[in-house]
Structures are given as C-alpha cells and as structure tokens.
Structure 1
C-alpha cells in the first residue's frame, strides 16, 4: 500500500492535500463555533493554525500521515480538515482521523461524503485491508458518526493520551475490514441519497 497526496471530490466536498495556503481558511473554519475550546478535538487555536499545518506536513514527510483540507466543492471555502494517519503500509492498514469541520457543517452531508471518499480510496485504490478510527471517550458526537459509517467498536484504551487541558483521555477504537466495506458503502450511499 503506497499512500501519496491525492485530490478526492464528490459534491458537496473536495479533499485536497493540506498546505500552508489553507492557513486562513482553517483559521476561519475553526472560528465557526470556536472549536478550539473543545478539549477532545484536534482543532487548532487561532494563533497555532500555521503550527498545526506544519506539524501535519512534518508527519506526512515522515510517512505516517496524509492530511487534507476539506473544501466546499462549489465555492472552494475551507470547511475543516481530515487525515489518513498511523499508516502501516506492510499491513495494508491506516486510520482516518484529525477530522474536524466548522460548526455550521455539523449535521450536513459534509462528514459522510468526506468519509465515503476516504474509505473508498483506501479500500478500492490503495488496497487497504483495514481502516481504523479512534476518538476520545467523551466525544459522543464523533463516536456516533463513526458508528454510522459501519465501523465496529473494538474497545477502549484506558488512560491513553493527554488532552489539551492536561487531563488524560480514554480512547475508543473502531475498525472496518475490507470484507465489510461493500455493505458499509451501500448503506452510506443510501444515506447520502436520502440527504
């Protein structure tokens, strides 16, 4: 499995490789709801937006992350960010995460469409055997969204990572196998058609 920068598009979103050119757009998206105040997300604080991008690109250079800017496919406005990460090429596995969107995008087709594009590319182009997700146990919105994708809850890793407020989170892990992808994809397409 060889993961490299790619652009993925299906209305209403376009996923493009993250770059420093997206700094102002990401700052504006994060300001829509002041999302950096949520301690269980990876949303950058306004004065750290450039650092957020630089860290993501450093992880990309190291081969373990592929970050995307999520754009509105019609207007080109930056809506948020998502990534492939924890890429283990010799096991044909990767995770999808570092995902966040402007609050005005919540409860829209944005997340479902972006995840469909990422999962489809992972399973059908890259040949992934497994796609995984992880989220803070307190992030019930994220857990519900991941479960709607058809992912299976594997369990909880207790006392796993430090949150930005200094507390330590428990992490909920999810996965989807390549053999489970066709059924999950069919359900996602039905959901998007209804939206």
Structure 2
C-alpha cells in the first residue's frame, strides 16, 4: 500500500443490491433526503450534516483526498442514495486506514446495508489496496455504534480521552477499534455467514415505513 489514489479506491463495489461510488455533487439531493429521514443531524453522537450543509459536506469529502475517500451508499436498483461512508486517516506508508464518517437514512438502519458496506470496504481495503490494518472509531456514548463494530469482530484498542469536539460543543472520548490483515479471513467468513442467514429484503423507499 505504498500508493493510493482515487483510481485505485473508486472501483465498482456492489453486493446484495448496495453500490458504493465516489461521493460527488450530483448526490446532494439524495444525501439530503437520507439525512432528513429521521432528522439525523439532531443525534448528538454523530456528525450528520443538516440539510443546508450537505453541499459543503460533499465538497469537504472531496477536498480531503488523499487522506479521506468518501463514498455514496446507493440502492443499486433504484439509484436512491441511502447514506455515506468513507476511508479516512489513510497512511499508505504503513498500510493503515480507517472506515468512518458512516451514516444511513433511518429506514436503512437495522437492515443488511451496514454489514454489506463493511464487507465491501474491508475486502477492498485488505484484498485490493493491501492494507495491513483497518481502524474504526466512535463516540464513547454511541453505544449502538460500538455494538455494531464489535459485532463485526473488530478488537477494541482503547479510548482516546478528551479527543474531539461534538457538534454541541462538548468534548468526546473516542473509542478505537481495529482489524488486522491476519484477522480478516475469519471476519470475512463471519460477515458472509451473517448476510447469508438473513433474507435480503428490498429496502423501503423514502417516505415508506421500514419493516424492521
């Protein structure tokens, strides 16, 4: 992983009806609708943009390359934007990156979307980009996110105390996790097993009630 570029990162990534593609200005309306589904910007422990900040959010995601590569999460059948996720804190010299800046429309939560995205991103990071380690992080009060990361099989590295500002001006502790290249084959098998155990139902469209 001595070199990483948009051409290497943004290749076709699709599984179980979910497609990941480079986050771009044309995703703005869809990303705005995804954020409005559940008014996600009101959640204290996430960094979802308010509707009028979506264009700036997308621009910043593009501007941060090559330390961050932002993806749009798209329903492959309808083309609807479901949310976003990123590779970030990319350090090619040591083969390390993190997966984060992840959020989905409320109707997609507790579905197959997150597991599918993580499988796509982890496989691409380890098997194509040649990573030695992939990190994940979350707010110390975001217990749902911590549980989701632990279900992936990631190991908890520790807590960075007084680490980052929340949107409300308070300072959070950051819980750090990681997966090594040696751990990846077993985790990959586990994620594929999990996806095989649940039916991959069609996702509700915007404005529809989720069955979950």
Instruction: Give 1:3 deviation, angstroms.
Output: 4.2
> Residues 164 and 65 from structure 1, CA distance in 2 versus in 1: closer, same or farther, beyond 3 angstroms?
same
Q: Secondary structure at the match of 2:45?
A: coil
Select which of 173, 176, 186 maps to 1:173: 176
Select which of 186, 196, 203 maps to 1:193: 196
C-alpha distance in structure 1 between counterparts of 2:37 and 2:12, whole Å: 25
Task: Give yes or no for the alignment of 1:92 onto 2:95.
Answer: yes
The superposition leaves residues 38-68 of structure 1 with CA deviations (integer Å, 9 ceiling, x where unpaired) of 12112110110001001111102xx100100
Q: How many residues align?
A: 193
C-alpha distance in structure 2 between counterparts of 1:120 and 1:42, whole Å: 25
Partner of 2:81: 78
Q: Secondary structure at the match of 2:64?
A: helix
Instruction: Provide TM-score, normalisation by structure 1.
Output: 0.97
Over aligned residue pairs, what C-alpha RMSD do you find? 0.8
Partner of 2:54: 49
Q: Where has structure 1 moved over 4 Å in runs of 4 or more?
A: none
Q: Secondary structure at the match of 2:70?
A: strand
Partner of 1:31: 36
Partner of 1:123: 126
Task: Give yes or no for the alignment of 1:59 onto 2:38.
Answer: no
Q: Secondary structure at the match of 1:179?
A: coil
Instruction: Give 1:7 deviation, angstroms.
Output: 2.8
Q: Secondary structure at the match of 1:144?
A: helix
Instruction: Give 1:11 deviation, angstroms.
Output: 1.5
Q: Secondary structure at the match of 1:25?
A: helix
Q: Is the 8 A contact 1:13 1:70 kept in 2?
A: yes
C-alpha distance in structure 2 between counterparts of 1:59 and 1:85, whole Å: 9
Partner of 1:159: 162
The superposition leaves residues 2-40 of structure 1 with CA deviations (integer Å, 9 ceiling, x where unpaired) of 242223101231000000000000000000000000121
Q: Secondary structure at the match of 2:110?
A: coil
In structure 1, runs of 5+ residues without a counterpart are: none
Partner of 2:24: 19
Q: Is the 8 A contact 1:151 1:176 kept in 2?
A: yes
Instruction: Provide TM-score, normalisation by structure 2.
Output: 0.89
Instruction: Give 1:73 deviation, angstroms.
Output: 1.6
